[in-house]
Every structure is written in C-alpha cells, then in structure tokens.
Chains A and B, each alone.
Chain A
Amino acid sequence: QTVVTQEPSFSVSPGGTVTLTCGLSSGSVSTSYYPTWYQQTPGQAPRTLIYTTNTRSSGVPDRFSGSILGNKAALTITGAQTDDESDYYCVLYMGSGIWVFGGGTKLTVL
C-alpha cells in the first residue's frame, strides 16, 4: 500500500520562508494526484489552504503557495508569521475514488 509522506516536523524563523513537501513511498507526485493542503491548529477543524496543486482557497493569504517540486507536492510559506505555527496536512488522490492523507508536519515558528 502506498504511503503519503510528509516531514514530521519543521522549524522556521519569523519572516522566513519554508517549504513543506508531500511525497509517495513509491513513485512521484504529479498534478494528477490533485494535491491539497490543510492547516490545523489544536482543537480546531482543518482549514483548506491549497487545492489541485496550486489554487489558493478563498481568504488564504498569498504567502501560501502550492507547487510540484521534483517528485513531490510542495507547500511554501513566504514570510512566516507566528500564527502559522500549526500542523499541516496534504492529501493525494490515488484513483478509484480513494484519497490518502499524509501523516502531517508540525511547523514551529520561532
């Protein structure tokens, strides 16, 4: 069974730029996987940031961007703010109606 991989944790300084990735245990991520990114703070429901690789959800600041980098999907935060300290999840479409989430990345801003 294919596993969706994410960095367990990442740290960035306020004002800095960070790129989180979403890969596959076997194979490369492409736009055909419709990568989607979510932000979740403790005790809250997830919030959709980016869908279909690089489309920003309504109300999401443009410092959040999505792309394909090499063989992975990527979420880049430019000019990180303390409010960005959250868990970030990606999900990929595996075909046959099935979606699989990555394990999530805990982002620390300090």
Chain B
Amino acid sequence: EVQLVESGGGLVQPGGSLRLSCAGSGFTFSSSWMSWVRQAPGKGLEWVANIKEDGSEKNYVESVKGRFTISRDNTKNALYLQMNSLRGEDTAVYYCASGRSCRGWGQGTLVTVSS
C-alpha cells in the first residue's frame, strides 16, 4: 500500500522560504513520477509541480515558476519542495502524490504565509 507522509509546513512571513519533505513507502519510489498538489483554504485542488523518476524532468505551474523547486532523493525515498519568495496566495495544504496522475496521496501539510 502506498504511504506518503509530508512534513515541513508551518507559518512563514511573506517573502520567506520553506522546504517541504515527503517520505514514501509501500511502492517502488524510484520508479514513480512524483507530484506536489496544493489546496488553498476552502478552494479546489491545484497541481503545482512534478518530477520524473530519475529527476531529469521537472515541470511547474506557471504561478510558481522561478520560486519553487521540486527535487527528490531516491536513496532516501524522499520528495522535496523548496519554496522561496512566498506570497499570501501560496497559503494552502500541500499534498505529495505518487504517479504522473497523482494516484497515491499523503495527508498533506499546511503552509501559512502571513505577517
């Protein structure tokens, strides 16, 4: 069974940085595309970024390009999201998801950007 556990969320001031982590187990992490999806309070799901199995391809939604960086460490079965220059509109629960179409999901970690 796919298990994904996110961590690293919290309160950060506008312009600040945060690094999210996701630990995967129960599947072959190194053979899976991985994604980040977020959900602002009371809003719908928004695809944020994904990364190919070997890390050679990374894709981002336009609104985070140049500010967020997705990465992975297959030796640790870990996925990361480095978030810089954070804005109020980045406030959301951030979910880690496995597979190109986000088939497996973690429980999410809340990021709040506020002064």
Do A and B pair up? The answer is yes
- Assess whether A23 is interfacial by the CB under 8 Å rule: no
State the CA gap A101–B95 with chains docked (Å): 14
Chain B stretch 96-115: residues in CB contact (< 8 A) with chain A = 99-108
- Interface residues in chain B, defined as those with a beta carbon under 8 Å from any beta carbon in chain A: 35, 37, 44-47, 50, 57, 59, 61, 95, 99-108
Interface residues on A, range: 20 to 34
**Identity of the chain B residue whose Cβ is nearest the Cβ of A104 in the assembled complex:** B44
- Cα distance A57–B103 in the bound complex, in angstroms: 8
Selected A-B contacts with CB under 8 Å, 7 pairs: A45-B105, A45-B106, A46-B45, A89-B44, A91-B45, A99-B47, A99-B101
> A58-102 CB contact bits vs B (8 Å, 1 = yes)?
000000000000000000000000000001010101001111111
When distances are taken between beta carbons in the complex, the residues of chain B under 8 Å from A99 are 35, 47, 50, 100-102
Q: Which of A46, A98, A102 contacts B95 (CB 8 A)?
A: A46
